[in-house]
A and B are shown apart, each in its own frame.
Chain A
Amino acid sequence: MSTKGYFGRLLEVNLSTGKIEKTRILDSDIQNFLGGRGLGAKILYDRLKPGTDPLSPENILMFMTGPFVAYPIPSSSRTCVVTKSPRTSPVEKKYEHSSTLSYANMGGFFGPELRYAGYDGLLVTGKSDKPVYIRIEDDDVRIEDAGKFWGMKTDEFDKIFHSSLGEGRYESCYIGPAGENLVPMACIINTAARAAGRGGTGCVMGSKNLKAIAVKGSGIPEVADLKKYNELLEKIRGSFMKKDERVMDWRYGGTANALTSSSRNGTQAVKNYSEGTYSDIEKIGTEANREKIWKRDFACYSCQLACKKSGFAKGAYGVQVHDGPEYETGTMLGANLLISDLNGLHKLIYDGDDYGIDIISTGNTIGFLMEAMERGHIDAGFLDGIELSWGNVEASLELMRKMAYREGVGELACRGVKELSRLIGKGSEEYAIHVKGHELAAWNVPVNSSSWSITYATSNRGACHMNGGNSNRQDGACLRDSLGACSFASSWYRDEVHYRHILSAITGLEWTEEEFNKAGTRIFTMEKMFNYREGFRRADDTIPEKFFNNEFTYGDHKGAIVKRNEFTKNLDKYYESRGWDKTTSRPEDDTLRELNLEFTI
């Protein structure tokens, strides 16, 4: 009998042997690591030999749910994909294939459906000798031929795949051409719009010759204290249904609201992070989208915020119906490239998702190459004749296509800015905006640098904008990603409807504030120990040189820059707060014991 609120069961599929198993999860692992990102990190640490090649059959691709997933707890539908990253590498390689772990979570309906089918997570190992997909209907699990789908872009695939599955409502996730072609920055897509975007999850999926997963289920895990659970549901629903300004803001603009506010605050990635404010931001902001692009709001399972916006663009780049600009996509393919043509931006986002490529890393990489062109470090010859200049939509579209198909310069560009700058040299490393090999996202560093520099420098998957700028925030993010809760809705879960009360009702275990917070610290530290084992040290916890040398020249925050000595001081303080050694960054033995992580010593 497993902990209530869980099935205590994993579905494990080995694509080399075709073996399909249903395995038990240790109760101690459930209670220490909760689910999702946390349980994924623990499994990866336990099972993966240090130095494993992320694209080898031995790597494990995990689709983890959490104890909130499947229940109608508002905004708690996240699926966390956990695997060893094909994107990152340390300064000093302990192994040929040293890399961090990767976690990327996606909303929608896939995670809930996986739980309805009776599993807390799906683990895929091995490598199929031909393209396949995994089809799950409760206990019935099959590996099916996907030959006829191979090569399909995600929008077309989404339409055709579901009709091929026959009766019933399946949920699915899949890769596009980028994942198939082993583009390191490939992602996993669901509903043709939502992505487990970061850290090369789609590349690992492609390396297993796995095109898609389809799942349909009929069960739900038992709730320990149903009466309490119903009371809490009533309260939390009530607090959303007041429809206060915060709720209505999310519905009105979603994350795109931040396009204009972040630009005003000088925290936006503009012109390959050279600026924090974009003069043309209004052209691609919420108001412009409401007027010209967005047609309807759509939501993930049981979500009252509906931050997703289905857009319709018609113009020079044809016709697209797609989830149109969010803060990240709008910044990375808009402001960061000085693109303000809304139809062009919409087409770029559509193509990025259609290829199944991480739009954050893609926009960052294109921005890097634009800067390299401007500085004369490369010429159009390097780019197969593409005249890549700031604001050029056509050139960006063509470069992205080449990246997705690893064609010509795309073969180099798809590896990201760390590798590109190493190849180009000429000091281009200075403006290669990554940490540990993983590109930074749409939040710029110099303004609020004490928070943003720590956020990016210390994130366990390499630069991650969702990481948090201090240990408390980071631990909180770990908890949300492990429960399956969405960070956008987290501020509603306070006081009597705090996550830990809901977790207590579901599991029947009394989660104190102290134990709950400690679980968050444990999860973050577990990931850190995975990375430490791979050879990541303090020298890897840094931020790109540009931030120490480049001053903003525009906007309210003109002159903003990061001071190197302040960053060093803040990093020292961070390690101290975590109980980590300041020289090596390794968590002290006492810290590890205190967190029940003595097995990593």
Chain B
Amino acid sequence: MEDIFITKKQSRRHFLSRITYGAGGLILLGSYGFSIKRDSLTGNIRAIAVDFEKCTGCRTCESVCAAYNNKVMVNGELINGPGNPALSNIRVYHFNPDVDIPSTCALCDDAPCVEACPVEPHPETGRKALYRDEKLHTIVNDPERCIGCQSCAFACAQKRAGVIHPDPETGNPRFMCTLCGGDPQCVKYCPYDALKYIEMPADRNLDKLAPEKLAEIMIDKFYNFKKGEQQI
């Protein structure tokens, strides 16, 4: 993560000139949507948008995601786990100067991860080992067919936010957003209303999702360093 350090970035100005906020005016100011679900009736996109100005970095989203998506069997009943953030699909990155950037799978329309999966589509379902769930638009891995090659993780890191981390033992991809069956827990429990599940246009640009890139924007927005100014 050597490029985590904002002050060292060379391409900052260049990057800032390319960023576009609020495409279509549907996204909250200072926010950047990343989890997308296409509504089958209207054709609209429903996505989890982050208002980075509201995020305080408390990581409640991580614990509720981990608890919901890693349930535990207790007396024959499947209930939420204790909420170990290491198992969360959403992850908050902290930066100095002080900003916090939540990051999770963007469920990208063009899905570079699925594109990169070398496993042949199944003759009946047409699915590769990594495929898109038709109903929720989420990215799902079939552990039976996954060969653990990690091409998906590499593609995500190269082209998007870099959220897929292979399981250290099997190499299977982890941390794709499940949208919690349509009721994202991170949105439900965010104490600061920094996460919203809202409609937005389908043609959004998704190639600037890396946390360190978003951190640059927010640091610039909050602290507004001028070129050459140094902390002393």
Spell out A's residues near B (CB within 8 Å).
71-72, 109, 116, 155, 158-160, 162-163, 166-169, 191-193, 217-220, 222-223, 226-227, 229-230, 237, 240-241, 295-304, 306, 310, 312, 314, 317-321, 323
User: Once the chains bind, are B96 and A192 in contact (CB under 8 Å)?
Assistant: yes
Residues of B within 8 A of A166 (CB): 1
In the complex, the chain A residue whose C-beta lies closest to that of B86 is A218
Nearest first, the 4 closest Cβ-Cβ pairs linking A and B are: A72-B63, A318-B232, A299-B58, A220-B84
Residues of A within 8 A of B83 (CB): 71-72, 220
Q: How distant is the Cα of A163 from the Cα of B2 in the complex, in angstroms?
A: 5
Least Cβ–Cβ distance between B216 and chain A, in angstroms? 14
User: Once the chains bind, are A162 and B84 in contact (CB under 8 Å)?
Assistant: no
User: Once the chains bind, are B96 and A155 in contact (CB under 8 Å)?
Assistant: yes
Partner of B191, one of A71, A169, A227, A304: A304
Once A166-B1, A295-B222, A302-B60 are accepted as A-B contacts, the answer to whether A155 and B231 lie under 8 Å apart by CB is yes
User: Once the chains bind, are B86 and A296 in contact (CB under 8 Å)?
Assistant: no
Once A226-B74, A298-B56 are accepted as A-B contacts, the answer to whether A158 and B96 lie under 8 Å apart by CB is yes
User: Once the chains bind, are B231 and A296 in contact (CB under 8 Å)?
Assistant: no
Residues of B within 8 A of A302 (CB): 58-60, 63
Least Cβ–Cβ distance between B187 and chain A, in angstroms? 13
Partner of A318, one of B59, B79, B191, B230: B230
Q: How distant is the Cα of A575 from the Cα of B63 in the complex, in angstroms?
A: 44
Least Cβ–Cβ distance between B186 and chain A, in angstroms? 12
Residue B119 at the chain A interface, CB threshold 8 Å: no
Query: Could you mark each residue 65-88 of chain B with 1 if its beta carbon is under 8 Å from any beta carbon of chain A, else 0?
Result: 001000010100101111111100
Residue B140 at the chain A interface, CB threshold 8 Å: no
Partner of A301, one of B5, B7, B59, B223: B59
Residues of A within 8 A of B80 (CB): 226, 230
Report the interface size for chain B: residues with CB under 8 A from the other chain: 44
User: Once the chains bind, are A237 and B59 in contact (CB under 8 Å)?
Assistant: no
Once A299-B57, A302-B59, A319-B225 are accepted as A-B contacts, the answer to whether A72 and B231 lie under 8 Å apart by CB is no
Query: Could you mark each residue 42-57 of chain B with 1 if its beta carbon is under 8 Å from any beta carbon of chain A, else 0?
Result: 0000000000010011
Residue B91 at the chain A interface, CB threshold 8 Å: yes
Residue B209 at the chain A interface, CB threshold 8 Å: no
Once A162-B4, A169-B93, A226-B79 are accepted as A-B contacts, the answer to whether A297 and B230 lie under 8 Å apart by CB is no
Least Cβ–Cβ distance between B79 and chain A, in angstroms? 6
Most buried by B among A72, A160, A168, A318: A72
Q: How distant is the Cα of A162 from the Cα of B93 in the complex, in angstroms?
A: 12
User: Once the chains bind, are B74 and A321 in contact (CB under 8 Å)?
Assistant: no
Spell out B's residues near A (CB within 8 Å).
1-2, 4-5, 7, 53, 56-60, 63-64, 67, 72, 74, 77, 79-86, 91, 93-94, 96-100, 189, 191-192, 222-225, 229-232
Least Cβ–Cβ distance between B220 and chain A, in angstroms? 12
Q: How distant is the Cα of A318 from the Cα of B229 in the complex, in angstroms?
A: 8
Residues of A within 8 A of B60 (CB): 72, 302, 304
Q: How distant is the Cα of A525 from the Cα of B191 in the complex, in angstroms?
A: 38
In the complex, the chain A residue whose C-beta lies closest to that of B77 is A227
Q: How distant is the Cα of A155 from the Cα of B58 in the complex, in angstroms?
A: 21
Least Cβ–Cβ distance between B3 and chain A, in angstroms? 9
Q: How distant is the Cα of A72 from the Cα of B133 in the complex, in angstroms?
A: 30
Residues of A within 8 A of B230 (CB): 318-319
User: Once the chains bind, are B58 and A304 in contact (CB under 8 Å)?
Assistant: yes
Residues of B within 8 A of A71 (CB): 63, 82-83
Q: How distant is the Cα of A191 from the Cα of B97 in the complex, in angstroms?
A: 10
Once A191-B94, A230-B80, A321-B97 are accepted as A-B contacts, the answer to whether A306 and B192 lie under 8 Å apart by CB is yes
In the complex, the chain A residue whose C-beta lies closest to that of B92 is A169
5 additional contacts, CB 8 Å, given A163-B1, A218-B86, A237-B191?
A72-B67, A72-B83, A162-B4, A302-B58, A303-B56
Residues of B within 8 A of A320 (CB): 231
Q: How distant is the Cα of A192 from the Cα of B231 in the complex, in angstroms?
A: 14
Residues of A within 8 A of B222 (CB): 295-296, 310, 312, 321
Residues of A within 8 A of B58 (CB): 299-304, 306
Once A169-B91, A303-B58 are accepted as A-B contacts, the answer to whether A319 and B231 lie under 8 Å apart by CB is yes
What are 17 contact pairs spanning A and B, CB under 8 A?
A71-B82, A72-B60, A167-B1, A193-B98, A217-B86, A220-B86, A227-B77, A227-B79, A229-B82, A230-B79, A296-B56, A298-B56, A298-B98, A312-B223, A319-B229, A321-B97, A321-B222
Q: How distant is the Cα of A116 from the Cα of B74 in the complex, in angstroms?
A: 22
User: Once the chains bind, are B229 and A299 in contact (CB under 8 Å)?
Assistant: no
User: Once the chains bind, are B82 and A226 in contact (CB under 8 Å)?
Assistant: yes
Q: How distant is the Cα of A230 from the Cα of B83 in the complex, in angstroms?
A: 10
Least Cβ–Cβ distance between B167 and chain A, in angstroms? 12
In the complex, the chain A residue whose C-beta lies closest to that of B71 is A226
Least Cβ–Cβ distance between B86 and chain A, in angstroms? 4
Q: How distant is the Cα of A297 from the Cα of B100 in the complex, in angstroms?
A: 10
Residues of A within 8 A of B97 (CB): 310, 321
Q: How distant is the Cα of A227 from the Cα of B83 in the complex, in angstroms?
A: 13
Most buried by A among B7, B58, B231: B58
Residues of B within 8 A of A226 (CB): 72, 74, 79-82
Q: How distant is the Cα of A480 from the Cα of B84 in the complex, in angstroms?
A: 22
Residues of A within 8 A of B1 (CB): 162-163, 166-168
Q: How distant is the Cα of A373 from the Cα of B93 in the complex, in angstroms?
A: 48
Least Cβ–Cβ distance between B64 and chain A, in angstroms? 7
Partner of A159, one of B5, B56, B84, B86: B5
Q: How distant is the Cα of A295 from the Cα of B5 in the complex, in angstroms?
A: 20
Q: How distant is the Cα of A31 from the Cα of B192 in the complex, in angstroms?
A: 36
Q: How distant is the Cα of A329 from the Cα of B119 in the complex, in angstroms?
A: 59
Least Cβ–Cβ distance between B222 and chain A, in angstroms? 4
Q: How distant is the Cα of A252 from the Cα of B81 in the complex, in angstroms?
A: 33
Residues of A within 8 A of B57 (CB): 298-299
Least Cβ–Cβ distance between B99 and chain A, in angstroms? 7
In the complex, the chain B residue whose C-beta lies closest to that of A506 is B82
In the complex, the chain A residue whose C-beta lies closest to that of B64 is A72
Q: How distant is the Cα of A301 from the Cα of B59 in the complex, in angstroms?
A: 6
Q: How distant is the Cα of A222 from the Cα of B72 in the complex, in angstroms?
A: 11
Least Cβ–Cβ distance between A291 and chain B, in angstroms? 15
Q: How distant is the Cα of A371 from the Cα of B83 in the complex, in angstroms?
A: 53
Least Cβ–Cβ distance between B155 and chain A, in angstroms? 18
Least Cβ–Cβ distance between A350 and chain B, in angstroms? 8
Residues of B within 8 A of A218 (CB): 84, 86
User: Once the chains bind, are B191 and A241 in contact (CB under 8 Å)?
Assistant: yes
Q: How distant is the Cα of A133 from the Cα of B196 in the complex, in angstroms?
A: 41
Least Cβ–Cβ distance between B38 and chain A, in angstroms? 30
